[in-house]
A and B are shown apart, each in its own frame.
Chain A
């Protein structure tokens, strides 16, 4: 069964480091772009970034200085680290699998992606 199972610390104090891991089961880890998204209370979804082994990882500029990704191929797991957390980092964090599709219309060439498999989310609360 294609699944992403995620875990990590749920309660952090300000200035600590958020660390989450997502395990990939039932599918190959190759050929996909492993992604992190979050949702703060009362707000919409926020794209944190994605792992791109060929072209380099992509990050949301608003979080770039504090975010890092890692991938453990042997365990089929990928991880998110977010340093120096504040209350504004409170929310539900999701991992997801992204697929990219290249479109060639003849007049233009572009690429879109889609996130078709998601983890169930990890609630992270930052509070002193």
Chain B
């Protein structure tokens, strides 16, 4: 079945530095790749997503890149701030056999700590 690997599992950076999280997926049919931020005790929050017809997408300090040939995608956070500290999950979509909706397969998560 579909598998998503995420690295690193923990990441510690100084405020103002950049952070990069990488994911690899196995199902070449996957065509949608969201990134979620989860703070302690809360539900995941969608922060950015990318579809397979695009190689890169940027939203202020956050960017995502996708390499479909290599089946990997990455999250880039620039000018990190202490409030960026959270667990970040990547995901890849696979089609359900009915309903037309895709289900998401999540990576294991990356715990990001931004130190002042």
Partners in one complex: no
